[in-house]
Amino acid sequence: MSRCQDMTSKPISFFIHHQGRGHANRAMAIIRQLPAERPVSVLCARPELFDGFERPIDIVALPNMIGAPVPAPGLFAQPTPEIMHCVPLGVAKTRGTMRTILDHLDDVDPALFVVDVSAEIAMLARIASVPAISLRMHGDRLDPGHLGAYQASVGLLAPFDRTLEQDDTPAWVQAATCYTGGLCTTVDAIPSRDAARAKLGLDPVQEIVVVLTGGGGAGTPYAPLTMAARAVPNALWLVLGPTHREGHETDFGNLRELGWVPNVTDYIAAADVVIASAGDNTVHEIARVGRPYVCAPEWRYFAEQTRKAERLADVGAAVMLREWPGALAPWRTILDAAKALDPAALAALYDGDAARKAAAYLERMAINLWAQEMPTTLRLANDAPPLLSAA
């Protein structure tokens, strides 16, 4: 076997978090762009997320340890170490997850382990002597757990444009990061506004607001939407995805819940304004089509969506809702503010080549790390200060 063949025979393994569909869809978009001769394995607690994926991959089912009960109050009372985020004691499913991961890594001896996302598993990879790439997300992530995971990784991958980087991110983290540009997993054709409305049977001139919910939360709160529909009665409000009702809402004829739809791109293209969360793929779906955007961040750990929405507002790509308005008056102003934004600011955040760039980065790292001579192009990820002063 030639040296080049040997470098591509080692697998790239992926740990994929099973919350929502975004992590799995992103992994598949990147894996599609890896060389066909590179073996790939995926470890996930919801292996069905990869059903129908056209590329041959080895899928390893993990126990779903999220929310598994702690068996005794004494164990439950033990504090969590600052360097970790979620490490309950005495949980068999957690132990089974770690054992399955380690057994698999030992069996396949991967060139690279891509972690999307878990600080603990990135550190586990380092302890197990496996080079890991950690996916980066927005949020308040200057705690020892995140910084420790970044230091433990050989590189970092950010599936967003560098323009959206947070000002408080340490320089060493930025230097270790490959920014792919905005990675969108949707590949549907983008129609014009008029063509989209004709296809969907919508009025060609009426103002249309599309409210989009991602798959990782409980749904868009419905009560504020009823206020919006009442405040702007001449607009048609179309809600895609689930909503969260509290039971006291009054429905309005210009507010329609459509649930999950297969052709989200058509609805975004038909909209005058899109109101949506700050989920990674959601942001880039809207940027890809280029419609005025009101960003309503959902609660996420470490203020992930809030910090991302702030950056979107800072660069003029979206109007940020700090909270859903509880009155009628603000809604017209909010929609008009979104329409007044320069559409180029949002469109620039999407990169149709992002998945290929991510795959190229992973392939390059998988080869360079195992080369017998130190490549001059290999960027060392761990040129970081001591952890407690890293922030």
pLDDT tens digits along 296-339: 999 999 999 999 999 999 999 999 999 999 999 999 999 999 99
Asked if 13 and 45 sit in the same domain, the reply is yes
Residue 384's CATH number: 3.40.50.2000
What band does 101 get if pLDDT is binned at 50, 70 and 90? very high
Q: For position 20, what pLDDT does the model report?
A: 81
Per-residue pLDDT averaged across 209-218, rounded? 80
What band does 213 get if pLDDT is binned at 50, 70 and 90? confident
Asked if 56 and 171 sit in the same domain, the reply is yes
Q: For position 388, what pLDDT does the model report?
A: 47
Q: For position 386, what pLDDT does the model report?
A: 62
- Alpha carbon 154 to chain centroid distance? 20
Per-residue pLDDT averaged across 247-276, rounded? 96
166's CB contacts (< 8 A; 6+ apart) are: 138, 307, 311
Asked if 265 and 220 sit in the same domain, the reply is yes
For residue 4, pLDDT beyond 60? no
For residue 118, pLDDT beyond 70? yes
Asked if 115 and 251 sit in the same domain, the reply is no
What band does 375 get if pLDDT is binned at 50, 70 and 90? confident
Q: For position 373, what pLDDT does the model report?
A: 85
Asked if 293 and 235 sit in the same domain, the reply is yes
What band does 217 get if pLDDT is binned at 50, 70 and 90? low
* 255 within a domain of the structure (yes/no): yes
Asked if 208 and 64 sit in the same domain, the reply is no
Q: What angle do CA 282, 349, 190 make, to 5 degrees?
A: 60
Asked if 322 and 358 sit in the same domain, the reply is no
Q: For position 78, what pLDDT does the model report?
A: 97
For residue 5, pLDDT beyond 60? no
Per-residue pLDDT averaged across 351-367, rounded? 98
What band does 1 get if pLDDT is binned at 50, 70 and 90? very low
Asked if 154 and 229 sit in the same domain, the reply is no
Q: How many domains, in total, are found in the chain?
A: 2
* 35 within a domain of the structure (yes/no): yes
Q: At what angle do helices 119-127 and 144-152 cross, to 10 degrees?
A: 40
Asked if 128 and 205 sit in the same domain, the reply is no
The residue type of 9 is S
For residue 3, pLDDT beyond 80? no
* 188 within a domain of the structure (yes/no): no
Average pLDDT for the chain: 93
Q: For position 389, what pLDDT does the model report?
A: 44
Per-residue pLDDT averaged across 247-270, rounded? 95
Helix (H) or strand (E) holding 266: helix 264-270
Written as six digits, the tokens of 113 are 């382990």
* 228 within a domain of the structure (yes/no): yes
For residue 185, pLDDT beyond 90? yes
Q: For position 374, what pLDDT does the model report?
A: 80
Asked if 335 and 238 sit in the same domain, the reply is yes
* 98 within a domain of the structure (yes/no): yes
* 269 within a domain of the structure (yes/no): yes
Range of the domain at 338: 193-347
Q: For position 219, what pLDDT does the model report?
A: 81
Provide the 10 A C-beta neighbour count for residue 45.
19
* 357 within a domain of the structure (yes/no): yes
Asked if 198 and 331 sit in the same domain, the reply is yes
* 343 within a domain of the structure (yes/no): yes
Asked if 101 and 199 sit in the same domain, the reply is no
Provide the 10 A C-beta neighbour count for residue 218.
11
Per-residue pLDDT averaged across 165-181, rounded? 98
For residue 103, pLDDT beyond 50? yes
For 294, the 3-state DSSP assignment is strand
